[in-house]
Chain A
Amino acid sequence: MNEQTNNPLPPSLTPLKLVVIFACLLGATLAVMGVCVLFGQTSLTWLVLELRLGRLIAAALVGAGLSVGGMALQAILRNPLAEPYLLGISSGAGVGVLIGMATVGMFPLWMASVPAPMFAFVGAMVTCVLVYLIAQQRGRLNAQSLILSGVIVNVFNGAIMLAINLYISRYQIVEFSQWMMGEINELTPRTTLGICAACILVGWAWLFIRSAAYNALGLGDDVARSMGISVGRLRIETFVFVSLMAGAAVALAGPIGFVGLIIPHIARLLLRADFRVLIITSGFIGAIFLMIVETACYALAPLVNVASIPVGIVTALCGGPFFLMLLRRGLRRETI
């Protein structure tokens, strides 16, 4: 395709361009992963490297899952402040873990016979179904009611967690609050990692396939419908796959906030592109971002005399001010 001579419009997006973008980003991600594995290592034993690699793979998956989920949610809700947590996914996972502690008595959290991530995952998915059931009206999903349902379910989940806290032991509360800070644990079983990886990668691929429709959805529901897009189905599909991805991310690393908000914005600032490119890019940027944060936490922990710094604390500390900045800017300008 090089007959762009007399066409006033340059070609927008070709399969070749997509493949090149994908390959470059994948290469960059792997390069960052390589640097992160070796960063700050004094002894290069296989065991240490393997543990580091496991954590970095988990960090990359979580970063990608949350970022792509945030990007897709922002597209279907036409709200630049949407992210997976808004839908109550993290609090749902929290309820799941707490129920696991209260019933199976998992302690310590990561050694239990039924892995905590499974409880987190089930909790997240149940919450998503609940949010959907509240938000839908005769099978249709409306943007505002989805956001509101998420907020309401979040509050409700918070209350349930406090209530369960009354019934579990003090040690379990400590264990639980550590999980709630968002820490990528190196003792996550291989099977859990595999299941979560599959959820995130399948979700990513699916959302990418639907990303062309997000461009149209940005023009309003009626215009999107007039272009043959079944808007309700697109919302439901997206919602289901984002839930799957975010549930898996929370299961792997606990609730890590603001990644799903920051990364899509950075991706949009870096490149003025449509959603097909943005869905790919934001995933890789998210993976790179969380690997770097994780490595920083790993390297910094001995310097501040703690065993480990949960990644969630760092992302929340960066993300809070960032969110406020976006909010202030959004008040001044209508579109972003």
Chain B
Amino acid sequence: MTSQPEPQTSREILSVNDLTFGYRPEVSVLRGVNLSADVGKLMCILGPNGSGKTTLLRCMLGRLHPTKGSVLLEQKPVHKFSARALANLMAYVPQQPASAFSIPVREIVLTARLPHLGVLGLAGQKDLEIAAAAMQMTDTLDFATRTIGELSGGEAQRVMIARAIAQQPSICLLDEPTSHLDIRNQMLIYGMMQRLGHDWNMGVICVSHDINLASRFADTLVLMRNGSVIAAGAPSEVITEDILRETYNVDIELIPVEGSSPIARAK
């Protein structure tokens, strides 16, 4: 919104065309979803529980195969990619950061280099520089030798984002990355996602539950209900009381804020 991406950088990276998906044939979770994500932009997907946001994300990750329609990454169906080729283009951050074992943060971030490395995944100088840059961006360098278990929730989630960045993808998908975090870490992480788009020229797609944070940081908002897209576009276009009521089935009022996006509040 404020920082204008250069014209040639704003190209489509991922497109979802008439996507229909059901875990069982008779029940469709997604019904004819269309959307298009560009590099250099942050897209947030909003919608009530059970609206199909996470299912859509899993289709984009190539984990679920569409019943009908397609998900194209760089014009190629996402499930046609080999796991390694996909890893070179697309990174993923889960809802909850977790590491089952006490592996140092630095090694966790360096696992991102695995798709680029040989058998033992021994990191070279270049990989260390990439990891260091990712950790600098997410402000996680200070605890490089600590383990995930010793970090706070916000710090751990930033490590997971550093790991995704170190993969050097063209597009990064995040599944409600701030759902367990305090307001400071929510702000930090939304700011990071915006920078990943605007400054790092990545496509960023984030499933979110926070209308206000999403409309404040995102370039594009997608509102979903019952497996269909209700509205998609710039926050100023799609955040209206009518659209929010239709999406969440609750009366929402918009409180204008000077110099920023309005605040949505349930009546």
Q: Find B128's partner among A7, A15, A268 (CB 8 Å cutoff).
A: A7
Residues of chain B from 114 to 137 with CB closer than 8 A to chain A in the complex? 114-115, 117, 119-123, 125, 128-129, 131-132, 135-136
Take A228-B84, A228-B114 as given contacts and tell me if A15 and B122 are in contact as well, using a CB distance cutoff of 8 Å.
yes
Interface residues on A, range: 35 or more
Q: What's the Cα separation between A15 and B93 when bound, in Å?
A: 30
Binds A, one of B4-12, B41-49, B97-105: B97-105
Query: Nearest CB to that of A274 among chain B residues?
Result: B107
Report A-chain residues with C-beta under 8 Å of the C-beta of B92.
222-223, 226
Binds B, one of A155-163, A208-216, A291-299: A208-216
Residue B141 at the chain A interface, CB threshold 8 Å: yes
Q: Are A212 and B129 in contact (CB under 8 A)?
A: no
Q: Which residues of B contact A223 (CB under 8 A)?
A: 92-94, 160, 163
CB-CB nearest in chain A for B175: A222
Please tell me the number of chain B residues within 8 Å of chain A, measured between CB atoms. Answer: 51
Kindly supply a per-residue 1/0 record for chain A positions 214-229, scoring 1 wherever the CB is within 8 Å of any chain B CB and 0 otherwise. 0110111011011111
A-B pair count, CB < 8 Å, reads: 137
B144 within 8 A of A: yes
B119 & A226 in contact (Cβ 8 Å cutoff): no
Stretch at the interface among A50-58, A177-185, A301-309, A328-336: A328-336
B63 touches A225 (CB 8 A): yes
When each residue 47-68 of chain A gets 1 if its CB lies under 8 Å from chain B and 0 otherwise, what string results? 0000000000000000000000
Task: Give Cα distance in the complex from A12 to B110, angstroms.
Answer: 9
Q: Is the CB of A14 within 8 A of B122?
A: yes
Q: Given A222-B63, A334-B149 in contact, is the A9-B144 Cβ separation under 8 Å?
A: yes
Residue of B nearest to A209 (CB): B119
Residues of B within 8 A of A220 (CB): 94, 98
Chain A residues near B131 (CB-CB < 8 A): 9
Cα distance A12–B132 when bound, in Å? 12
Is the Cβ of A228 less than 8 Å from the Cβ of B122?
no
Minimum C-beta distance from A9 to chain B (A):
4
- CB pair B103–A228 under 8 Å, yes or no, is no
Check: A321 CB closer than 8 A to any chain B CB.
no
B194: A residues at CB distance < 8 A: none
On chain B, the residues within 8 Å of A268 by CB distance are: 101-102
B102 touches A272 (CB 8 A): yes
Return the chain A residue nearest B112 by Cβ.
A227
Q: How far is the CA of A14 from the CA of B110 in the complex (A)?
A: 13
**Complex interface: chain A residues within 8 A of B101 (CB):** 74-75, 78, 80, 218, 268, 275, 335-336
Contact B111 A227 (CB under 8 A): yes
A263 to chain B, nearest CB (A): 15
| Interface hits, A1-34 → B, CB 8 Å | 1, 3, 7-9, 11-15, 18
Compute how far the CA of A220 lies from the CA of B92 in the bound complex, rounded to whole angstroms: 11
Is B149 a contact of A212 with CB atoms below 8 Å?
no
Q: B106 contacts A3, CB within 8 Å? A: no
Contact with B along A75-99 (1 / 0, CB 8 A): 1001110000000000000000000
- B218 interfacial by beta-carbon distance below 8 Å: no
Partner of B111, one of A15, A215, A335: A215
Judge whether B149 and A228 touch: CB under 8 Å.
no
Q: A12-B110, A223-B94, A335-B149 are in contact. List 14 more A-B contacts (CB 8 A).
A: A14-B122, A18-B122, A78-B101, A212-B111, A212-B120, A212-B121, A215-B103, A216-B114, A220-B98, A222-B63, A229-B83, A275-B103, A333-B149, A336-B102
Give chain A's interface residues, CB within 8 Å of chain B.
1, 3, 7-9, 11-15, 18, 74-75, 78-80, 208-209, 211-213, 215-216, 218-220, 222-223, 225-230, 268, 272-276, 333-336
State the B residues within 8 Å of A (CB).
61, 63, 82-88, 90-94, 98-104, 106-108, 110-112, 114-115, 117, 119-123, 125, 128-129, 131-132, 135-136, 141, 144-145, 147-149, 160, 163, 167
The 8 closest A-B pairs by CB, nearest first: A212-B121, A228-B87, A226-B92, A228-B84, A78-B100, A335-B149, A228-B115, A216-B111
